[in-house]
């Protein structure tokens, strides 16, 4: 696992969150580029994929190219202010040019050293442990380089694939959050979520 020490970020170093690049486990994680047509197209495909929408109900739905670009611009702004870091998951052999999915470190609380992790994988990249490898890479950076203490991960109850990814990367299941997430495609109904978390002091799992 390789970290570019010239661009790693600490929670108090907000500007550098927009430039972090991570490489390891055969992946290259880089910031999404709102000015790239390829990045915008990949983001649009990811957040409109039926499998994604079955397990996720975005608070701000994205349905077209303009919305996808606005969504990436909003994420870039949060990286600049230091509250989140969003990564395009790319294949290392392609230099990160081929998008495989997304992983983000969100809602960074600087004082407590806590953040929330979320991810998705494009249909053609599923079944290759992309999410597992990306989560292992991001967790290592978050604890060793960004100085975070706790990472949380919540997924819809019943999403067994996401549960396996979390547990394989050392995120212990801590309980059920009742009615914590919106039902698929609705704003008036809620569903339970499983909460997983990993601490910087937890044993590091083997991820490959």
pLDDT in tens, 114-127: 999 999 999 999 99
Average pLDDT (98-113) is 95
How many other C-beta atoms lie within 10 A of the C-beta of residue 59?
Answer: 6
The β-bridge relationship of strands 150-156 and 114-121 is parallel
Q: In the prediction, which pLDDT does 21 show?
A: 94
CA dihedral 135, 171, 168, 146 (to 10 degrees): 30
φ, ψ (nearest 5 deg) of residue 92: -60, -35
Q: In the prediction, which pLDDT does 17 show?
A: 87
Cβ atoms 19, 36 nearer than 8 A: no
* Angle (CA) 120 125 126, round 5°: 70
For residues 10-37, one letter each, b for 16 or more C-beta atoms within 10 angstroms of the residue's C-beta and e for the rest, the string is ebeebebbbbbbbbbbebbbbbbebeee
State how far Cα 162 lies from the chain centre: 12
pTM of the model: 0.90
State the greatest distance between any 2 C-alpha atoms of the chain, in Å, as a whole number: 46
pLDDT in tens, 32-71: 999 999 999 999 999 999 999 999 999 999 999 999 999 9
φ, ψ (nearest 5 deg) of residue 3: -125, 135
Handedness of CA 119, 106, 181, 137 (dihedral sign): positive
Token reading at 129: 């442990």
Q: In the prediction, which pLDDT does 15 show?
A: 46
Q: In the prediction, which pLDDT does 201 show?
A: 97
């Amino acid at each position: 696992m390789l970290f570019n020490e010239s661009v790693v970020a600490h929670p108090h170093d907000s500007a550098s969150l927009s430039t972090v690049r991570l490489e390891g486990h055969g992946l290259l994680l880089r910031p999404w580029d709102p000015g790239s047509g390829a990045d915008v197209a990949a983001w649009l495909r990811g957040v409109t994929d039926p499998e994604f929408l079955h397990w996720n109900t975005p608070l701000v739905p994205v349905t077209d190219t303009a919305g996808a670009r606005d969504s990436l611009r909003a994420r870039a702004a949060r990286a600049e202010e230091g509250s989140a870091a969003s990564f395009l998951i790319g294949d290392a052999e392609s230099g990160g040019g081929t998008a495989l999915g997304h992983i983000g470190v969100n809602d960074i609380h600087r004082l407590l050293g806590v953040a929330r992790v979320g991810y998705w994988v494009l249909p053609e990249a599923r079944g290759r442990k992309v999410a597992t490898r990306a989560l292992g890479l991001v967790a290592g950076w978050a604890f060793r380089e960004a100085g975070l203490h706790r990472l949380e991960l919540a997924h819809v109850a019943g999403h067994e694939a996401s549960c396996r990814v979390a547990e394989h990367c050392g995120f212990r299941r801590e309980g059920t959050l009742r009615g914590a997430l919106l039902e698929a495609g609705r704003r008036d109904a809620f569903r339970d979520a499983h909460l997983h978390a990993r601490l910087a002091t937890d044993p590091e799992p083997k991820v490959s």
